[in-house]
Amino acid sequence: MKIVLRLAWRNLWRHPRRTWLTTGAMVFSNILLVFMISLQFGMYGLMIDNALQIFTGHMQVQAPDYKDDQKMRQIVPDIVPLAKTIREELDSEMVAARGLTFALASSEERSFGIGIYGVEPEFEARVSNIPGLVSTGRYLAESDAAEIVIGGVLARNLRVGVGDELTLLGSGLDGSFAATVVDIVGVFDSGVNDIDRNIAEIPIGLFQDTFFMEGAGHQIVIVGDGLGAVPELQARVQSVLPADSNLVVPDWDELLPGLKQAIQADMGSSFFMYFVLVVLVSFSVLNTQLMSVLERTREFGIVMALGLKPGRLGRLVVLETAMMGLIGTAIGIVAGGIVTSWFTTNGLAFPGMDEMAARFNLPARMYPEINAFTLLAGPAIVFIFTMLAAIYPAVRLRWQNPVDAMRVA
Amino acid sequence: MRIFGVLFRLAWRNLWRNHRRTIIMLGAIGVGVWAMIFMTALTRGMVDQMITDSIGVLPGHVQMHHPDYQDDPSIANRISISDADLKDKFDDAGFEAWASRVRVPAIITSERESRGVTLLGVDPAAESEISFFDYEGVEGRFLDDAADKGIVIGEELADTLETEIGKRVVLMSQDPDNEIADRGFRIVGLYSASTKAVEEAYAFIGKTTAQKMLHIDDATTEVVFLGDDYRNVEPIYDAVTSAVDDSVSVRRWYEIDTYLGTMMNVMDGFVLVWVVVIFMALSFGLVNTLVMAVFERVREIGLMLALGMKPGSILGQIIIESMLLMTLGLAAGNFLAWATVTPLESGIDVSIVSEGMEMWGAASVLYPKLYASDMILASGVVLLLGFLASLSPAWRASRYEPVEAITKV
Amino acid sequence: MSAVRCVDLCKTYRQGDQDIKALDHVSIEIGKGEFVCLSAPSGGGKTTLLNAIGGLDIPDSGEVYVDGERIDNLSKGELADLRLQHIGFVFQAYNLIPVLSARENVEFVMQVQGMPAAERREKSNAILKEVGLEGLEGRRPAEMSGGQQQRVAVARAIASRPALVLADEPTANLDSKTADELMELFTLLNKHHNTTFVIATHDQRVMTYAGRLIRMLDGRIVDDIDQRAA
């Protein structure tokens, strides 16, 4: 066996330049794949985290169909006590009740239609990063105070600041006219234009009084210890819901179907690109190995005439390809890892990226995420395709007749 | 130059000497070029549609506002030129597709729900050239004229509001004195757009009706202009700018929606990067093929040198061979791209990830677009880089010493 | 004026750790229209001398004149021109460009010289007929026998009417009958066109065709016989 290995190795270096060029194609693709896959998965992780951290949480308790329609009357009754029960069951503070409606917010000079969240001030900060993003003034303090925090763009559009009053006009749960006057205590800047322009938060007690909610709300947001723990948490939450209620516990994926699909759409186009790269590398390998078989036709003819079976020669070709593939894979993983590591510490930015990133609430610099999967997936596939490319040249040997082979000059 | 004929003949025959290698290489170049153009066509189609859609809804190619309107989109910041004067200015000056609108934020309330919307007071006659949706496709009917008393909203918004054609809704906004301006409307039509976000965002009423409701006489808040090509808006921009004074601000679409503007530039950049990356993956195979071709032909290259052929001619011969290979591969790739993109131009349904596409700002049907300029760009880049990549092996070949080359076994 | 004149040529090669004197103070003069055989055992220096005369190799010292013009100090490009315009070559093997047909091989030099197509065609037809390859013009080298290939090479060497034809072991790969035919052809062309021929060989029978026989050994000329006189 050892002699076969040595033979394969020597054959590989008969044309060092050719071997290096073919390996180079693999290394090039591997570096690119490691980098791109790491970058993508880093970005996806961030996209999910950031999207969920703003409002959605890992799961919510809602009335059925609320996630599709978000209508005023699709309520969770007695929402504050229910949130308390869930907190106790989970032994976690990361549970908060909310109400949501749309109303006209009017300052002295301007009026805009906005979304108004009624939140539990003491727990909201555990499930959402909005409270932490208050840049002027403070966040809400008491559950019944006539206070509001609004987005920065909204404040500018309404021409108001901390200390000013806003009038909220809307409809109550029963469809009747609802109105209240609140003091602006804080302005938040999330950096996401849609949120900063359209959203305000008031305490849930005030929300329930103003919109005649009779103790009800629309969603209880729950955050767990990471996405992996979601199914288990979901089951526990489900178990403490009142037996006679038809409330549901959709997880983040059901709440924001667009998020996963945005990732899938992006993955789809990326995988097309990766596939093309891999196919091009296979062509390169196929070409090299076919050349190396054809130019050795005479030599193979002689050893076959000596009684060596074509199958063994085929295995030799496969072995040579495997050696070349391993070199390309090893160098590719190391070089790809080095290049990617540099970007994991220094980040990557290109002109225009901040605009694109803001749409997904992402930072303007992207940091790839290296792990075993992102490091090995690409090179592994390149290696597999490299081996597939060796099949034709190896099989071709079987068709060869030793005498014909020897006759080739 | 007379020598070109013989060089070309030699290059062409040599190309087919090792036909398997040439065919594999042609396959690789063909697939690579196909992928370049196919991917570009998809991207172009997506961005084109995003931009065309958004330009329909949003700014037109060029838009005119009160200078403060962008920061404070309120009725207070309306255009100081009366509608009649605008007509004089633009109709007579030969602007074909233009329209003045009243656009203000408002609250729309049905019997059951309320939502914030963007209210558009339009003149249907002027809009037909410009607007983003197909009037014929409206369920029910579109507005008859500027004085129509009805309202047209999106299908998605009608769902949310639990309302339908024939039912009444109330619009609430603000007049220039900051008083609430409201009015009831009967829904006369429902439109559908390429994304749900659009269907939820815009409500159309007659321009004159809007002016009455908002107490603004003959004023409008925006004038939009449409040209033939979103990539070339300068002529309209210049014409509009010279027709008005600086009591209004005139801007191009990409200055208004910076996300779209950035998207266009990023995609242009992406196309080039993609073409170069694919070429790099190809170049290893190309150089490899040429190196081997030169290596196999040492003796005859030596012979040609001995017979008195100039080294420059040897160089030229190898480069012609490489260019022939590239040209054939390009022809195959371009044809393949044309053959695969053309049937898809009627649209690729990606609605399984529609909400994800919406997050990227794209619609759920992709219409790939084959631009001659992209095909030329891809082909040009491949030929140029192919030429550069062939220089090294060709140079080597031309440096052979005839005596050594000829006696090499 | 002589066709070729060499003055005191020296050339040393390194092979392994041994210096080999391929040319050791060689001086010869070859007149126009002469038919010369250079004979030497392998490594005797005949190929080196031939290459030096043909401008394929530059001697370490000494002078080479072709048609009275000194060539050992020319640049590579000038040497290429010299070979193209004034010298025809016939090598031992691999004489032909594999992708070109017999006619195209013959026309190759003329084409590189820039001769118009009609003139080329006329000359190549005539010469192919003269070397006895009528009807085989369209064949590629791989489709011809060794003797036919050498005839094509000869045809190419003389097609553009060079003053001097250099042939290095032209018969080495041929059987004796074909070799005789090739030598008859050389003799014929020498008489017919008054072209100077210098043929390097170690084949005894080839030497009998030569008007003048120059023997070399270890890089030196040991014998220079005018066979016509004898």
B354 in contact with A at a CB cutoff of 8 Å?
yes
Neighbours of A358 (CB within 10 A): 17
- Residue C200, domain member (yes or no): yes
Judgement on whether residues B76 and B16 belong to the same structural domain of the protein? no
Of residues A171 and B60, more confidence is placed in A171
The minimum CA-CA distance between A181 and chain B, rounded to whole Å, is 16
Burial class (CB in 10 A: 0-12, 13-18, 19+), B1: exposed
Helix or strand run (H / E) with residue A177: strand A177-188
Q: DSSP labels for B318-348?
A: HHHHHHHHHHHHHHHHHHHHHHHHHHHTT-E
Cβ–Cβ gap C99/B14 under 8 Å: yes
Question: Helices A16-51 and A257-295, interaxial angle, to 10°?
Answer: 170
- Chain-centroid distance, C-alpha B137: 24
Whole-angstrom distance, CA of residue B375 vs CA of residue B381: 10
Those chains having 3 or more beta-carbon pairs within 8 angstroms of chain A are B
Structural domains in chain A (count): 2
Residues ≥6 apart with Cβ < 8 Å to B193: B53, B57, B132, B133, B154, B199
Residues ≥6 apart with Cβ < 8 Å to A38: A340, A344, A368, A369, A370, A374, A375
Mean pLDDT calculated for residue range B279-307:
89
Q: What angle do CA B256, B216, A199 make, to 5 degrees?
A: 50
Judgement on whether residues B252 and B389 belong to the same structural domain of the protein? no
B194 in contact with C at a CB cutoff of 8 Å?
no
Please state, for a pLDDT cut of 90, what percent of chain C lies above it: 23
Q: Per DSSP, what are the bridge partners of residue B107?
A: B116, B172
Q: Are C32 and C86 in contact, with CB atoms under 8 Å apart?
A: no
- Residue C170, domain member (yes or no): yes
pLDDT of residue A333: 95
Q: What is the DSSP letter of B116?
A: E
Whole-angstrom distance, CA of residue A175 vs CA of residue B1: 89
Judgement on whether residues B49 and B64 belong to the same structural domain of the protein? no
Cβ–Cβ gap A273/B35 under 8 Å: yes
Q: Which residue from B minimizes the CA distance to C86?
A: B308
The minimum CA-CA distance between B9 and chain C, rounded to whole Å, is 9
pLDDT of residue A312: 81
Judgement on whether residues A167 and A265 belong to the same structural domain of the protein? no
Structure tokens at B347: 């649209």
Judgement on whether residues B251 and B335 belong to the same structural domain of the protein? no
Beta strands per DSSP E along C72-206: 87-90, 164-168, 196-201
B389 in contact with A at a CB cutoff of 8 Å?
no
pLDDT of residue B175: 85
Structural domains in chain B (count): 2
ipTM of this complex: 0.86
Neighbours of B228 (CB within 10 A): 12
Question: Taking CB atoms and an 8 Å cutoff, what residues of chain A touch B113?
Answer: 71-72, 102, 171
Of A70, A102, A287, the CB nearest to B116: A102
The minimum CA-CA distance between C229 and chain B, rounded to whole Å, is 34
- Residue C17, domain member (yes or no): no
Q: Are B325 and B333 in contact, with CB atoms under 8 Å apart?
A: no
Q: What is the DSSP letter of A76?
A: B
Structure tokens at A52: 């969920």
Whole-angstrom distance, CA of residue A258 vs CA of residue B359: 6
A171 in contact with B at a CB cutoff of 8 Å?
yes
- Residue C101, domain member (yes or no): yes
Residue B357's domain spans which residues? 3-54+261-407
The minimum CA-CA distance between A290 and chain B, rounded to whole Å, is 8
- Residue C68, domain member (yes or no): no
pLDDT of residue B92: 64
- Residue C23, domain member (yes or no): no
pLDDT > 50? residue B409: no
Judgement on whether residues A385 and A338 belong to the same structural domain of the protein? yes
Cβ–Cβ gap B288/A21 under 8 Å: yes
pLDDT > 70? residue C157: yes
Cβ–Cβ gap C98/B17 under 8 Å: yes
Neighbours of B347 (CB within 10 A): 14
Whole-angstrom distance, CA of residue C5 vs CA of residue C57: 16
Judgement on whether residues B313 and B402 belong to the same structural domain of the protein? yes
- Residue C5, domain member (yes or no): no
Judgement on whether residues A37 and A139 belong to the same structural domain of the protein? no
- Residue C47, domain member (yes or no): yes
Residue A13's domain spans which residues? 2-51+259-407
- Chain-centroid distance, C-alpha A84: 32
Judgement on whether residues B65 and B34 belong to the same structural domain of the protein? no
Whole-angstrom distance, CA of residue B192 vs CA of residue B390: 54
Helix or strand run (H / E) with residue C12: strand C4-15
pLDDT by 10s per residue, chain A, length 409: 577 788 888 888 888 888 999 999 999 999 999 999 998 888 888 888 888 888 889 999 999 888 887 788 889 999 999 999 999 988 999 999 999 998 889 888 888 888 999 999 999 999 998 998 899 999 998 888 899 999 998 998 888 999 999 999 888 888 888 999 999 999 998 877 778 888 999 999 999 999 999 999 999 999 988 888 888 999 999 888 888 888 999 998 888 888 888 888 888 888 888 999 999 999 988 988 888 888 888 888 787 777 777 778 888 888 999 999 999 999 999 999 999 999 888 888 777 777 777 666 677 788 888 889 989 999 999 999 999 998 888 887 777 665 666 555 4
Split at pLDDT 50, 70, 90, the class of B27 is very high
3-state helix, strand, coil in chain A (%, to 5): 60, 15, 25
Judgement on whether residues A333 and A229 belong to the same structural domain of the protein? no
Residue C147's domain spans which residues? 35-55+76-226
Domain of C215, CATH number, reads: 3.40.50.300
> Among the three residues A250, A276, A306, which one is the final residue of a domain in this structure?
A250
Cβ–Cβ gap B356/A258 under 8 Å: yes
> Among the three residues A190, A218, A250, which one is the final residue of a domain in this structure?
A250
Judgement on whether residues B226 and B113 belong to the same structural domain of the protein? yes
Whole-angstrom distance, CA of residue A371 vs CA of residue B266: 28
Tell me, what amino acid is at B227? G
> Among the three residues B235, B256, B277, which one is the final residue of a domain in this structure?
B256
Judgement on whether residues B244 and B314 belong to the same structural domain of the protein? no
B358 in contact with A at a CB cutoff of 8 Å?
yes
Whole-angstrom distance, CA of residue B252 vs CA of residue B232: 10
Whole-angstrom distance, CA of residue A264 vs CA of residue B159: 27
Judgement on whether residues B24 and B117 belong to the same structural domain of the protein? no
Judgement on whether residues B50 and B64 belong to the same structural domain of the protein? no
B112 in contact with C at a CB cutoff of 8 Å?
no
Mean pLDDT computed over every residue of chain B: 85
- Residues of C near B (Cβ–Cβ under 8 Å) read 51, 54, 56-57, 76-77, 80-85, 87, 89, 91, 94-100, 104, 108-109, 111-112, 114, 156
Q: What is the DSSP letter of A146?
A: S
Judgement on whether residues A170 and A108 belong to the same structural domain of the protein? yes
Q: Per DSSP, what are the bridge partners of residue A184?
A: A148
Tell me, what amino acid is at A222? I
Structural domains in chain C (count): 1
Cβ–Cβ gap C91/B306 under 8 Å: yes
Judgement on whether residues B94 and B227 belong to the same structural domain of the protein? yes
- The whole-model pTM stands at 0.80
pLDDT in tens, B110-145: 888 888 888 989 888 887 777 656 666 788 888 888
pLDDT of residue B408: 55
Q: What is the DSSP letter of A55?
A: I
Q: Per DSSP, what are the bridge partners of residue B226?
A: B97
Q: Which 3 state secondary structure label does DSSP give C44?
A: coil
Burial class (CB in 10 A: 0-12, 13-18, 19+), A400: middle
> Among the three residues A250, A277, A300, which one is the final residue of a domain in this structure?
A250
- Chain-centroid distance, C-alpha A316: 43
Of residues B187 and B228, more confidence is placed in B187
Of B20, B173, B358, the CB nearest to A111: B173
Q: Are C51 and C57 in contact, with CB atoms under 8 Å apart?
A: yes
